[in-house]
Structures are given as structure tokens and as C-alpha cells.
Structure 1
Amino acid sequence: MLLSRRSLLLNATLVTAAPAGLSFHRSAAGADLLATPDLAQALRTGAVVAAFRHAYAPGTFDPPGFTLEQCATQRNLDDAGRAQAGRIGAWFAAQGLQPSAVRSSPWCRCLETATLAFGTVERWDALGSVRAGTDAASSQVAALRQALAKVPPGRFEVWISHQFTLSALLGESTASGEGLVLRATPGGGPPTLLGRLPPA
């Protein structure tokens, strides 16, 4: 299912973002430095995924009885989160990086992050929020690992998901708007973490 800016359920305003502002590590002198290895080059080389936790959405959990198809019942991005999503997309554009696919959890805050950053997004249930240790979580992690292994050289995908889902996939915590550049591990084990794209 493809969603565009026009079909996004939330009546969000696209924030004009300042480009080229996504920093990696900062030296004592304040200069932005790419992590090692160069993550932009890793994305260009392909066979990787940039898996992001959704942009900033105030609060912690969704309200009781929330409904996926009704954004008003969920925890959603605020203006700061929308601006953060815009900056994520601006960084990719400034680097000349075009994902071959943008996939998102069906939660509204993830769909909005993906849409504001990249335009068109594919809704994918495997990226939905999971409960660690459940059969559903195991099934989702297996699906994510299989999809990661299928990304070919020369291409990369962007996934927008949740802290719990990314933790189940990799065992790493993430901040709102933070990305993990992942490569499949031979044998289907946990992905290799090439580096982090810190929150914009």
C-alpha cells in the first residue's frame, strides 16, 4: 500500500527544513565529521538499510484502545518531530542519496516521518511496534532479516519503525529520529551495524 503526502491521514504541514544539517560525530573544534566507515558511501555502495526510529513524538506509549487507522487515537509527531523528519530527508537529498524503497510501520507517527522526509512510502506491517519475546516479534524480526538480505548492491532502503522493533532486530536502543545503517549477516543472524545516523 503506497501513501503519498496527499493521502497521509494526518493533516500535517510540511516543514521547510535546513539541509545538510545531519551530523555524525563532532570534533572539539565543532566540525561535523562522518563516522567511520563513511556512512554516506556505505549507502551508495548499497546492500544496506537505513533503519530509523520515527521522529520525535511526545509521550511514551499510545493511549489505551488506540486504532491504527485513526491517527487521532495515537501518539503523534509534534511540530519539532515534523521539523526533524524534514531535516532527515534534507540530509539524504543534500548527499544525492535516493533510497530504492521507503518502508514504514503502519503507525501514524512512522508514516508521517517517512512521508515528510521522503514523499512516497510503503506501509509494511513487519516494521510495526512489537512486544519483545512474543511469537509475533520473532516472526517480524525474521521477516526484517530476510528483507535486509535481499537488498542488492548499488541500492539501499530506508525503514521507519519503533524503538522496540529496532531493539528486537539488533539489540540496540535508538533515540527519536536516529538511524541505524544495517547490512545483512551471512547465515541470517543479527544484522551488522555499520554506524548510526544521529537525530537531525
Structure 2
Amino acid sequence: MNSSLLNSLRKGGFILYVKHGEATVGNDLPYLNFQDCLTQRNLSEMGRRQAIYYGEILQYLQIPINYPVSVSPFCRTIETAQLAFGSGNVQVNPFWFEVVRLSGNLPISDSQRILNNLKSVLETIPEEGKNNVIIAHSFPEGVGLGQLNDMETAIIKPKGIGNGYEVVSKLSLGDWSTLD
């Protein structure tokens, strides 16, 4: 990443949409319960290390974050956010579960509603001098922000409600260390 992007991020005004850290292999159970982490895929040890590193690198790069960070109700997204930003700086937003639903067999009307809600979130300009962080899930190929790898960040520049947004960059976890 170049220094102009880093300087822009330090001034705030972006949304960092991050896919959670590496999760255990398998699937969430059909009787998924958000209050029971045993019914879902959770962070692996690698995923925990990724989350801690992510928080450390953003702090080291002096990128200002607007707290609380918004997370999906899955244990893996909550734990990623808590390890990166501290447990008191996390707020669960059930909307981010909807991103997971986009990978399923949804009626077009449901998909469109989810994508319209996503658009309005990504058009919302953060508090002056800060960046909003969302820790959630990858999208299906060609939908929303597209596919993201573990801890990959889509950096979004919102243009205000009704004015759209721009995906400025996508950074892997390793890309952050090249910004300095």
C-alpha cells in the first residue's frame, strides 16, 4: 500500500470492512445458536493470532477507529473484534448475519433488501477524524464487496447517503505491514 492511502486513513472518513480471522474447518450447525459457540465455526489459533496482529498493526500505523466496532453475531466475528480492539469496544449488529444469508438460496427480493441495506451502511460517512470498522463475513463472488480472505479488509470511502461509495482498496493482513 502506498503512503497516500495511509495518510488518508489517518485522517479518517473510511469504513474498514474486515472478514473475521481464520475459522475452524467445517460448517455452522443447522441448529445454529448465536449464544452457543459450540454450534458454529470458531476462530482457530491462527485466527486468534491474526486478530491480535490486526489490532496491533492498526494501532502502530495510528489509524483512528470509531468505537464500538460493528460485528456479526457469530462467535468468530465477536472474538476477532475483541482480540483486535478490546472486549469493551465491540457492538453486535444482527444485520451482518444477513451477509451470510446471501450465500444461500434466497428469493431475489430478500437479496435485494440486504444489498440495499448494505449500500446505505457503506454510504454513511464516519465521525470526523475516525474510521468505522465492521467485522463480518465474505460475500459470494460478484455480490456486495465480493469474496474476502481471512482478515482481508475492503477499504471503503463513503460518499454520503444516496451518493454511493467507492472501494478504494482491498488489503490482505500482510499488506498492512507494507504501509509504514
> Normalising to structure 1: TM-score of the pair?
0.72
Q: Which moved more, 1:152-161 or 1:135-144?
A: 135-144
For the pair 1:115 / 2:82, whether they are aligned, the reply is yes
Q: Which amino acid aligns with 1:110?
A: T
Q: Which amino acid aligns with 1:131?
A: L
| Higher share of residues assigned helix | 2
> What is the number of equivalent residue pairs in this alignment?
165
- Matches of 1:147 and 1:186, distance apart in 2: 10
- Matches of 2:140 and 2:58, distance apart in 1: 23
CA contact (8 A) 1:106 1:125 kept: yes
Q: CA deviation at 1:46?
A: 2.3
1:131 to 88, 94, 102: 102
Q: Which moved more, 1:40-49 or 1:115-124?
A: 40-49
Q: Which amino acid aligns with 1:109?
A: R
Let me know the Cα RMSD of the aligned residues.
Answer: 2.4
CA contact (8 A) 1:85 1:114 kept: yes
Question: Which string of whole-angstrom CA distances, capped at 9 and with x for unpartnered residues, describes residues 150-170 of structure 1?
Answer: 224422101001112796322
For the pair 1:154 / 2:125, whether they are aligned, the reply is no
* Pair 1:178–1:44, CA change in 2 (3 A): same
Contiguous gaps of at least 5 residues in structure 1: 1-34
| Counterpart residue number, 1:61 | 27
Q: CA deviation at 1:109?
A: 0.4
Q: Which moved more, 1:60-69 or 1:76-85?
A: 60-69
CA contact (8 A) 2:12 2:64 kept: no
| Counterpart residue number, 2:63 | 97
Query: Tell me, what secondary structure is at the counterpart of 1:75?
Result: coil
> Normalising to structure 2: TM-score of the pair?
0.79
* Pair 1:158–1:186, CA change in 2 (3 A): closer
Question: Which string of whole-angstrom CA distances, capped at 9 and with x for unpartnered residues, describes residues 118-148 of structure 1?
Answer: 1120111122222245444433332232223
* Pair 1:122–1:70, CA change in 2 (3 A): same
Q: Which amino acid aligns with 2:61?
A: Q
CA contact (8 A) 1:127 1:140 kept: no
Provide the identity percentage.
27
- Matches of 2:135 and 2:111, distance apart in 1: 16
CA contact (8 A) 1:53 1:162 kept: yes
- Matches of 2:110 and 2:58, distance apart in 1: 32
Query: Tell me, what secondary structure is at the counterpart of 2:125?
Result: coil
Q: How does 1:33-48 map to 2 (within 5 A)?
A: 35-36=1-2, 38-48=4-14
Query: Tell me, what secondary structure is at the counterpart of 1:143?
Result: helix
- Matches of 2:124 and 2:49, distance apart in 1: 32
Contiguous gaps of at least 5 residues in structure 2: 175-180
CA contact (8 A) 2:72 2:94 kept: yes
